[in-house]
Chains A and B, each alone.
Chain A
Amino acid sequence: MSTEYIRNFSIIAHIDHGKSTLADRIMELTGAVTSREAKAQLLDDMDIERERGITIKASAVTMKYSCEGKEYMFNLIDTPGHVDFHYEVSRALAACEGALLVVDATQGVQAQTVANAYLAAGTGAEMIGVINKVDLAAAQPEITAEEIEHVLGMKKEECLHISAKSGLGVQELLDAIVKRLPAPLDRGNEPTAALIFDSVSDDYRGVICYVRVFAGKLRVKQKIRFMSRGRAYIVTELGKLTPKMTPVDELGAGEVGYVIGNIRTLADVTIGDTITDDAAPAEKALPGYKAPMQMVFSDFYPGNNTDYDKLRTAFEKLAINDSSFSFIPQNSPALGFGFRCGFLGLLHMEIVQERLERENDIDVVQTAPTVSYEILMSDDTVKKIDSPSELPDLSKVKELREPFVRLEIITTTDSIGGIMKLAESRRCHLLKTDYLSQTRVIMEYKAPLAEIVYDFYDLLKGISHGYATMDYEFMDFEESDLVRIDILVNKIPVDALSLIVHRTKAESRGRRLIVKLRKTIPRHQFEIPLQVAIGGKIIARESIKPFRKDVTAKLYGGDVTRKMKVLKRQKEGKKRLKSVGQVQIPQEAFMSILEDSD
């Protein structure tokens, strides 16, 4: 098929603006699924995704569409909408020539609308503005169109008004895809270059790569090579997703589909990598490839009742289907053996946590998530650490650098004041403010990632009564006046409770921290001193008083069964804590140290 009749496009939008519903509707209208077959939002595979209403993995569907007598091949690539998965979104967009930018007419332009639009523009994708949910009473399509024009420079007359739910305007949208989105370039005669924009590990088929062929072609039995790693594989199966996996003999230039070869694990595949022919390889890899960058780290230790091996097995299982999640063995003098885990962001971490609990019968104690830091040593080498306990002796350190991000907040004008105060308290630096409309504004900050990675989003939502949305992107590591706060529980330094903070906040943060700890660590049979140290010097103390009375007055015949149950529960309760010396520390204590509010 000539590439003239191919259209590769993505749907990008802020969460819940209707991306998946639109994908459903398009698949229905093109006959890819019948309305009876269509389980709502077919593209979301995992239960968790469906539950949380988010797409984690990008997926693709090939459809046929007739327009003015000609048959077109539509390749729709679904994308994750969340800030943590920027890179995946950018690669999915790089696989397309166009993108449908969907905006909810009752919500208007939001943070991820903007973030995704910039990503699309960055890959050169042609965009069509699509205003959705126009049939709702609260819809304000004209105002939304104005915002789109104002913020993104897309002409408001050219935006389509639709209701993905009812199908209103979707037919016209399909025609617009044909007429306004460019066809892929015909580079069939060039050496093979195909972009891997997603991958998944299937129980039966093994590792599956989703690809967009840019040049040349892929054939079954072909020997291919992954250009970033240099490893070669034989193609055992090729196909398209219609949306079911439908094998083909060849995938040509401009086409989208899946590749199965003798690839053993998901870890062998990197999103954004280029597949080429081993015998006649392309000179250069396709642009834009980046190794996934983990931004957030947390240590997981088995709870008193779970063993280390069980935890390791659980992590291995999780990593099979998530190549951006990593875990390495970790040993804490206070907590024993565990794992240091890396995530793309906080949402990614929460998803992994949930899957860990749901799919396994284990208790874990998890340290508060931290970001990584860069250290310029006195011998001019640069070290990267992702845990406060790895901070070397400060006498050997020239510069401590923390990660900064460009933070975008879209909110209503009446919460500007509160948000500015919050941002200021978190060392954010305002870069610019832009009004989307009379009532909405977009604020751009340079923010230290450590200050916003944990509870900033929740506080933002609180201040703005739920209206604010935010997105951030990594900028760089910059020098900062940072120190490490150490906590001693019962005179034992607990490295898992250490925190790296800005010097100006260290003392107040330290004091608040042990007050919080005093409230979350249960009383014991003995007094527990809590101390905060900065640079080895104790700067504050608190104390957890022992409980004074814990005894059953009467224990006679008929009381035995009941009392044994109560005592056993008391004993079990101790297991859900982590022992540090004689002190039992609950999970909440580790997390509570990160809360910067009272």
Chain B
Amino acid sequence: MSVENKHAGFNCAEIALYIHIPFCEKKCRYCGFYSEPIELHNAESLVSALVAEMGRYQFGGNIRTAYIGGGSPSILPLELLLKLVGEVVSCCPDVEEFTIEVNPGQVDEGILQKLHDSGVNRLSIGGQSFNKSELEFLGRGHQAADIKRAVSAARKAGFGNISLDLIFAIPGSTLQSWEYSLGCAIDLGVGHISAYSLTYEEETPLAKLRERGKVAAVDEETDRAMYETAIEKLEQAGFAQYEISNFAKPGFQCRHNLFYWANKPYIGIGPAAASYWQGRRTTNVADSEKYIQLIQGGESTIAESEEPNEIEIACETAVLNLRRRSGIDLVEFKKQTGFDALELFADASANNERLGLIEQNEGRIFLTRKALPIADSVLCDFAGV
């Protein structure tokens, strides 16, 4: 399979690689991703299948960023994880950013050292909160102290590029408890923080509890205040918000995720992994056993596939671009989609500009600061023409 991309006039020499590890120790209440308890499966077969799927592509030197996510990649036995990392490094000699997601309770300095030495150069730690009750509520298997330990171990292992995930608007949390978590995260000196409002994904135990009235979501006003506080405090601490939920000190932006928000192509490996490749958005089967079977049988692992037309691509690109604080770059947009964004989204831009939710400046269209908490109500105007 050669590396080609349908986007006319767009430099597709750079693509991103995502690998999904569908295993966890136990499922967190709020998680909407595909994952299963590791004991139930043969991790070795899975990793071999992942490697086999990678082998179906000929990346050459085109992969710039690699990201192993999940699930919990750090639940894998170390030798399997290292095997996988090794495969990535050999398939993708020109990879520049290689991230692994880890859980604070599942790594120590030894493990992290080996990962670092194998070629991983960025770590994303699933901290979520520094408050005991909140961690318990979420069903995370670690304590606040574990987060500190993991960051410290990562540093000692040689990682300079560390990201921390945080969740706010957890039932039972307050503005103060959130500020506390933020403070702890900032104090750890990491280069990148993602701050997400707790989302009640369909069919998760958390969503069901809320439906049944057993759990009360944080009210809208507080949720908003928490978000505003995050932006404010993180900015004060030297982080620049570069996407709705993502904050980075200079030089620490996540290049892999920037591929998504630029609507550039990427390849997803593993069960339930998504790809945007050769003009198609596909998703692999969300079932480990089935995935392994299909790989072993030499068959396609694709469960869903869509081929957006030109206009749809333009809309998707606009929506994703607008997630970035830098917004839509008019020149890039034209090169990538063939459309003039100001023409295509004339009404949407004008209406939202009038309301002070969109701004146009220096060849870019972007969400204003005050639009951020209600971004979806603006983005929907760009979702179609």
Q: Which residues of A contact B (CB under 8 A)?
A: 525-526, 546-558, 560-561, 563-564, 567-568, 570-572, 574, 582
User: B199: which of A554, A558, A574 is its contact (CB, 8 Å)?
Assistant: A554
Of A526, A553, A557, A582, which is within 8 A of B268 by CB?
A: A557
Q: Does B306 contact A (CB under 8 A)?
A: yes
In the bound complex, do residue A558 and residue B273 qualify as a contact, i.e. CB atoms below 8 Å apart? yes
Q: What are 30 A-B interface contacts by the 8 Å CB criterion? A: A525-B357, A525-B374, A547-B220, A548-B374, A549-B224, A550-B374, A550-B375, A551-B197, A551-B244, A552-B199, A552-B376, A553-B245, A554-B196, A557-B260, A557-B266, A557-B276, A560-B260, A560-B274, A560-B276, A560-B316, A560-B320, A561-B306, A564-B315, A564-B319, A567-B383, A568-B380, A570-B377, A570-B380, A571-B380, A574-B380
In the docked arrangement, what's the CA distance between A560 and B323, Å? 12
Contact A548 B373 (CB under 8 A): yes
Are A549 and B196 CB-contacts (below 8 A) given A557-B274, A567-B319? no
CB < 8 Å neighbour of A550 from B18, B272, B323, B373 = B373
Q: How large, as a class, is the contact surface on chain B?
A: 35 or more
CB-CB nearest in chain A for B227: A549
The CA of A561 and the CA of B283, in the complex, are separated in Å by: 10
Q: Are B276 and A548 interface neighbours, CB within 8 A?
A: no
- Evaluate contact between B223 and A549: CB separation under 8 angstroms: yes
A568 touches B384 (CB 8 A): yes
The contact of A525 among B244, B377, B384, by CB within 8 Å, is B377
Binary A-proximity of B261-277 (CB < 8 A = 1, otherwise 0): 10000101000111110
A570 to B376, CA, bound (A): 9
The answer to whether A549 touches B268, judged by C-beta atoms less than 8 angstroms apart, is no
CB nearest to B351 among chain A residues: A582
Interface residue? B42 (CB, 8 A): no
> Is B58 positioned at the interface, with any CB of A under 8 Å from its CB?
no
Q: Which residue of A lies closest to B306 (CB)?
A: A561
Residues 290-315 of B, flagged 1 when their CB comes within 8 A of A and 0 if not, give 00000000000000101000001001
A526 to B315, CA, bound (A): 25
B21 at interface, CB cutoff 8 A: no
B320/A555 in contact, CB under 8 A: yes
Which residues 157-201 of B have a CB within 8 angstroms of A? 196-199
| B218 nearest CB across to chain A (Å) | 10
Q: Which residues of B are found within 8 Å of A572, using beta-carbon distances?
A: 384
Of chain B, the residue at the smallest CB distance from A559 is: B274
Enumerate chain A residues within 8 angstroms of B281, measured Cβ to Cβ.
Answer: 560-561
Residue of A nearest to B376 (CB): A550
Tell yes or no: B355 within 8 A of A by CB.
Answer: yes
Nearest Cβ on chain B to A290's Cβ, whole angstroms = 51
Q: B119 → chain A, closest Cβ, in Å?
A: 22
B381 at the interface (CB under 8 A from A): yes
In the bound complex, residues from chain A placing their C-beta under 8 Å from that of B266 are 557
Q: Which residues of A contact B196 (CB under 8 A)?
A: 553-554
In the complex, are the beta carbons of A564 and B316 less than 8 A apart? yes
Q: Report the bound CA distance from A150 to B55 in whole Å.
A: 95
**Assembled-state Cα–Cα distance A554/B376 (Å):** 12
B residues less than 8 Å from A558 (CB atoms): 268, 272-274, 283
Query: A549: which B residues are within 8 A, CB to CB?
Result: 197, 220, 223-224, 227, 373-374
Check A551 against B372 for contact (C-beta < 8 Å): yes
Within 8 A of A (CB), among B69-87: none
**5 interchain residue pairs of minimum CB distance:** A558-B274, A567-B383, A570-B380, A553-B196, A551-B375
Chain B residue at smallest Cβ distance from A573: B380
Across the A-B interface, how many residue pairs have beta carbons closer than 8 Å? 105
A582 to B351, CA, bound (A): 9
- Assembled-state Cα–Cα distance A553/B372 (Å): 11
Chain B residues contacting A555 (CB-CB under 8 Å) are: 244, 260-261, 320, 323
List CB contacts (< 8 Å) of B241-286 with chain A: 244-245, 257, 260-261, 266, 268, 272-276, 281, 283
Residue of A nearest to B357 (CB): A525
B106 smallest CB distance to A (angstroms): 22
Of the residues B221, B245, B275, B383, contact of A568 by C-beta under 8 Å: B383
Distance of A570 from chain B, by nearest CB (Å): 4
Are the C-beta atoms of A548 and B245 separated by less than 8 Å?
no
Chain A residues contacting B378 (CB-CB under 8 Å) are 525
A556 near B257 with CB under 8 A, answer: yes
CA distance A558 to B32 in the complex (A): 12
Residue of A nearest to B305 (CB): A561
Closest beta carbon of chain A to B351's beta carbon, Å: 8
Residues on the B chain within 8 Å of A567, using CB: 319, 376, 379-380, 383
A167 to chain B, nearest CB (A): 57
> When chains A and B are docked, how far (Å) is the Cα of A547 from the Cα of B380?
15
Residues A551 and B384 in contact, CB atoms below 8 Å apart: no
A526 touches B224 (CB 8 A): no
Q: Which residues of A contact B319 (CB under 8 A)?
A: 563-564, 567
Return chain A residues, CB-CB under 8 Å to B380. Answer: 567-568, 570-571, 574
Q: Which single residue of chain A is at the shortest CB-CB distance from B372?
A: A551
- A137 to B309 CA separation, bound complex (whole angstroms): 67
Q: Which residues of B contact A561 (CB under 8 A)?
A: 281, 283, 304, 306
Tell me how far the C-beta of B306 lies from the nearest C-beta in chain A, rounded to whole angstroms. Answer: 6
Contacts of B274 in A (CB 8 A): 557-558, 560
B205–chain A nearest beta-carbon distance, Å: 18
Known: A557-B18, A558-B268. A550 touches B306 (CB 8 A): no
Cβ distance A557 to chain B, nearest Cβ, rounded Å: 5
A109 to B74, CA, bound (A): 81
Question: Closest A-chain residue to B273, C-beta based?
Answer: A558
Apart from A525-B374, A560-B276, A564-B319, 20 more pairs, CB < 8 Å = A525-B357, A547-B220, A548-B220, A548-B224, A548-B374, A549-B374, A551-B244, A552-B199, A552-B376, A553-B197, A554-B245, A557-B274, A557-B276, A558-B274, A558-B283, A560-B260, A564-B383, A567-B383, A571-B381, A582-B354
- Alpha-carbon gap, A553 to B376, bound state (A): 10
The interface residues of chain A lying within 8 Å CB-to-CB of B316 are 560, 564
Task: Please determine whether A553 and B276 come into contact, CB atoms closer than 8 angstroms.
Answer: no
Closest CB-CB distance, A356 to chain B, in whole Å?
Answer: 26
Q: Which residues of B contact A557 (CB under 8 A)?
A: 18, 260, 266, 268, 274-276
Instruction: Name B261's closest neighbour in chain A (CB-CB).
Output: A555
- Min Cβ gap A531→B in Å is 21
Alpha-carbon distance A555/B376, docked complex (angstroms): 11
Give A373 to B238 CA distance when docked, in angstroms.
69
CB-based contact A571/B355 at 8 Å: no
Within 8 A of A (CB), among B47-78: none
List chain B residues, Cβ under 8 A from A560.
260, 274, 276, 281, 316, 320
Decide if B383 touches A582 in the complex (CB within 8 Å): no
User: Whole-angstrom distance from the CB of A305 to the nearest CB of chain B?
Assistant: 12
- Nearest to B194 among chain A residues (CB) is A554
Bound together, the chains give a CA A525 to CA B268 distance in angstroms of 37
**Residues of chain B lying within 8 A (CB to CB) of residue A553:** 196-199, 244-245
Residue of A nearest to B69 (CB): A556
Measured CA separation A561–B319 after assembly (Å):
12
| Contact residues, B331-380 vs A (CB, 8 A) | 351, 354-355, 357, 372-380
B370 shortest CB reach to chain A, Å = 10
Q: How far is the CB of A562 from chain B (nearest CB, A)?
A: 10
A561 CA to B323 CA in the complex, in Å?
Answer: 15
Q: How far is the CA of A558 from the CA of B316 in the complex (A)?
A: 13
Contact A556–B260 (Cβ < 8 Å)? yes
Distance between A577 CB and nearest chain B CB, rounded to angstroms: 13
Q: How far is the CA of A349 from the CA of B244 in the complex (A)?
A: 50
Instruction: Give chain A residues whose Cβ lies under 8 Å from the Cβ of B244.
Output: 551-553, 555
A553 to chain B, nearest CB (A): 4
Question: A520–B372 Cα gap in the complex (Å)?
Answer: 26
Q: Chain A contacts of B304 at CB under 8 A?
A: 561
A571 to B312, CA, bound (A): 14
Report how far A547 CA is from B355 CA in the complex, Å: 14
- Which of the listed residues B266, B304, B316 has the most CB atoms from chain A within 10 Å of its own CB? B316
A546–B355 CA distance with the chains assembled, in angstroms: 12
Which residues of A sit under 8 angstroms from B198, Cβ to Cβ?
A: 553
Distance A560 CA – B259 CA, assembled complex (angstroms): 13
Q: Which among B223, B257, B377, B381 has the greatest number of chain A C-beta atoms within 10 A?
A: B377
